[in-house]
Amino acid sequence: MTAEAPTPSQFDAQTLFGAIRDLGPLRIISICGPSVFEAIEELGPFGVRDGWLNAINDRFHWHLEVARIGWVTTRDQVHERSGRRVLFFELRETRESDPFLLLYLHRAKGEEFGEARQRLFAGLHEHFAGGSPLEANP
């Protein structure tokens, strides 16, 4: 796990998801219309090519169209029902649209976030707390 987030000028999909991968395990929540898919997973090896982020491991294949990720926001807040602190990313097509993908830092009940995970998230949160566009991949 790296101790620091990339600098803001480096946030394309490859760099962002590389940093997010270091934050695992993740609670991945994918929203498609009225359907919601949720899984707790480690994001394994992935690549960005021809406009798609492709992550393939033994439990799932994930193909995410990078152009849909127009706006990224991080959240550090207290969950209303559980009262637990949650750290997560919201991915949207535009600043005004609803999120289609939520990526929570998962931890077991009663556990705390490790210091390295908190430090890495804090670095990303400095850039994305107010929301920010994602740079196009070169």
Among the listed residues 53, 49, 34, the one whose alpha carbon sits nearest the alpha carbon of residue 91: 53
Among the listed residues 39, 10, 38, 21, the one whose alpha carbon sits nearest the alpha carbon of residue 138: 10
- The Cα–Cα gap between 112 and 51 comes to 36
pTM of this structure: 0.88
Specify the fold of 11-130: Heme iron utilization protein-like fold (3.40.1570)
Is residue 75 helix, strand or coil? strand
Low-confidence residues of the chain, pLDDT below 50?
1-2
Distances (CA, A) of 65 to 50, 69, 121: 9, 8, 24
Question: Residues 9-37: pLDDT tens digits?
Answer: 568 899 999 999 999 999 999 999 999 99
